[in-house]
Amino acid sequence: MLGHIDTSLIDWSRAQFALTAIYHWIFVPLTLGLAVIMGIMETAYYRTGDEFWKRTAKFWMKIFGINFAIGVATGIILEFEFGTNWSNYSWFVGDIFGAPLAIEGILAFFMEATFIAVMFFGWDKVSKRFHLASTWLTGLGATISAWWILVANAWMQHPVGMEFNPDTARNEMVDFWAVATSPMAVNKFFHSVLSGWVLAAVFVVGVSCWYLWKKRERRFALSSIKVGASVGLFAALMAAWTGDGSGYQVAQHQPMKLAAMEGYYEGQEGAGLVAFGVLNPAKQKADDGVEPFLFRMEIPKMLSLLAERKADAFVPGINDLLEGGHELKDGTTALSAAEKMERGRKAIEAFAAYREARAQGDDAAAEVASVELKENMPYLGYGYIKDVHELVPNVPLTFYMFRVMVMLGGYFIVFFLVVLFVVFRKDLSRLRWLQMVAMLSVPLGYLAGQAGWVVAECGRQPWTIQDMLPVGAAISKLEVGSVQTTFFLFLFLFTVLLVAEVGIMLKAIRKGPENSNVDIHSSNY
């Protein structure tokens, strides 16, 4: 059945899921970061009793709430798509993938839903201490929610803790903690959450600088900038550190993604990292003999250090991964892509033979088929690959998006350092050029986050589950027209929601913090 699926169905199903994920990731990072910033501000109110900090915290809570609502809506649709558009995937690994999502819904989401009500409506109705706890618990709930979702995503990048049951044709979880605490999941969680903190910090600094630009709410703006930029600098530095850890995990478990990130075709010892480069658009296939770069600048031996923590270590390139023959860490020789595909087809045939033997009650034949299936099971996904070049992701997209992410990460570190120096040592309210830079930096925060997810998800194609299940074997057997219809329906719906959210948020920003009898003289020039 899978062999007759229209390739356009695969493309449209991928496009629909990518569309939903992109819109969802517009809202989630800001939620995660604002939760921390508004928590710090309310803590200042709790410790000092200064009504100014209550006013400040309430304003950013309002922005948090506007963003939170639409993030939930897109997230629910995203989860439903696993069942509608990717039913084969859901059947094959639902026992594993569904567990963290179920925990996220039962624990984290309900935790958020409970305490967010107290946070918004509990002012002057509950004690200061309980309200402060509710604010932090709302943020903690959002962060725990992100943890379980990222655990599920990390498992797709590096599947662990399961065994294939040929009787049910499903992978079943055998080690929950291996899934929940895999190094890939830990790194992905911290890197993704910290990137959300960076975005929120850039957003807070940018919005606050708008108030300075308009000569409004001076104390509110400067105080928000101090908190936001401090959180942002910490998060940006930590994101760089966790990004290094993520790069190492990618090198260990997704070497093809790493090779695509670097436009790296021929493996070598002491491999250099491309600091800057321009890919050759004439390069179409790995083995076409065309030079991959028109121009590049390398940092010597840095890729080997990133991938293996050794300056002279061998790092395989795209051609090495397709052709095999290089020595692996365990001393064995890497199989070629063609050999993996052949063993994958043996696994598929053995599985069919096992099912047939079980149906006929032939236990001996079933046992023989079971042994062959277990031997070749690690390569099952390769059996659905028709051409070795399908195993190479979109190199230009992955290469350039990775550099956009890294360069913006470096920019934010410098940006927050400059802002903090000026706001504490100079008078930011008089530096209009820096205010403009801060406002223009807000969309860069969103760009960095989206670039990171493009690298993570497009870099592992054609796999829905790394080395286990390609996209062509994961989708539902649907009419192409129905997927196209829902794609454009979601595009319209999400765009309307985005426009509405931006409009509501801009209205709230223009209105500013709630009027208060305190700080009348210090809120304006």
Angle between helices 218-253 and 183-213 (to 10 degrees): 160
Asked whether the predicted pLDDT for residue 501 surpasses 70, the reply is yes
Asked whether the predicted pLDDT for residue 68 surpasses 90, the reply is no
Residues sharing a CB contact under 8 Å with residue 274, sequence separation 6 or more, in sequence order: 262, 263, 264, 293, 296, 297, 298, 399
Q: Supply the pLDDT for residue 69.
A: 75
Buried residues in 77-112 as b, exposed as e (16+ CB within 10 A): bbeebbebbbbbbbbbbbbbbbbbbebbeeebbebb
Question: Which has the higher per-residue pLDDT, 375 or 108?
Answer: 375
Compute the distance between CA of residue 9 and CA of residue 30 in angstroms, rounded to an integer.
33
Q: Supply the pLDDT for residue 1.
A: 40
Q: Supply the pLDDT for residue 2.
A: 46
**pTM for the full model?**
0.91
The model's pLDDT over 34-53, given as tens digits with 9 standing for 90+, comes to 999 999 999 999 999 999 99
What backbone phi and psi angles, to 5 degrees, belong to 273?
A: -95, 130
Of 5-14, 40-49, 119-128, 266-275, least confident by mean pLDDT is 5-14
Asked whether the predicted pLDDT for residue 70 surpasses 90, the reply is no
Q: Supply the pLDDT for residue 524.
A: 39
Asked whether the predicted pLDDT for residue 119 surpasses 80, the reply is yes
Of 255-264, 302-311, 403-412, 507-516, least confident by mean pLDDT is 507-516
The model's pLDDT over 441-498, given as tens digits with 9 standing for 90+, comes to 999 999 999 999 999 999 998 999 999 999 988 888 888 888 889 899 999 998 998 8
| Three-class secondary structure of residue 500 per DSSP | helix
Determine what percent of the chain is predicted with pLDDT higher than 90. 64
The model's pLDDT over 308-321, given as tens digits with 9 standing for 90+, comes to 999 999 999 999 99
Q: Supply the pLDDT for residue 518.
A: 44
Asked whether the predicted pLDDT for residue 21 surpasses 90, the reply is no
The model's pLDDT over 254-267, given as tens digits with 9 standing for 90+, comes to 999 999 999 999 99
Q: Supply the pLDDT for residue 5.
A: 54
Structure tokens at 488: 């454009």
Asked whether the predicted pLDDT for residue 25 surpasses 90, the reply is no
Compute the distance between CA of residue 104 and CA of residue 112 in angstroms, rounded to an integer.
11
Provide the pLDDT confidence category of residue 297 given band limits of 50, 70 and 90. very high
Q: Supply the pLDDT for residue 111.
A: 81
Provide the pLDDT confidence category of residue 416 given band limits of 50, 70 and 90. very high
* Cα–chain center distance at 342: 33
Per DSSP, helices labelled H in 104-217 are 110-121, 128-157, 176-180, 183-213
DSSP sequence for 200-256: HHHHHHHHHHHHHHTT--HHHHHHHHHHHHHHHHHHHHHHHHHHHHHHHHHHHH-HH
The model's pLDDT over 139-178, given as tens digits with 9 standing for 90+, comes to 998 898 889 989 989 999 999 999 999 888 888 999 999 9
Question: Across residues 223-235, what is the average pLDDT?
Answer: 96
Asked, as a colleague might, if the bond just before 300 is cis with ω within 30 of 0, I would say no
Structure tokens at 5: 């699926």
Asked whether the predicted pLDDT for residue 345 surpasses 60, the reply is yes
Determine what percent of the chain is predicted with pLDDT higher than 70. 97
Amino acid at 260: A
Number of neighbours of residue 218 by Cβ within 10 angstroms: 18
Q: Supply the pLDDT for residue 519.
A: 44
For residues 333 and 325, the answer to whether their CB atoms sit within 8 Å is: yes
Q: Supply the pLDDT for residue 310.
A: 92
The model's pLDDT over 237-248, given as tens digits with 9 standing for 90+, comes to 999 999 999 999
The model's pLDDT over 377-389, given as tens digits with 9 standing for 90+, comes to 999 999 999 999 9
Closest CA to 14 of 354, 391, 483: 483
Compute the distance between CA of residue 9 and CA of residue 475 in angstroms, rounded to an integer.
8
Q: Supply the pLDDT for residue 6.
A: 61
Q: What is the mean pLDDT of the chain?
A: 90
Asked whether the predicted pLDDT for residue 225 surpasses 70, the reply is yes
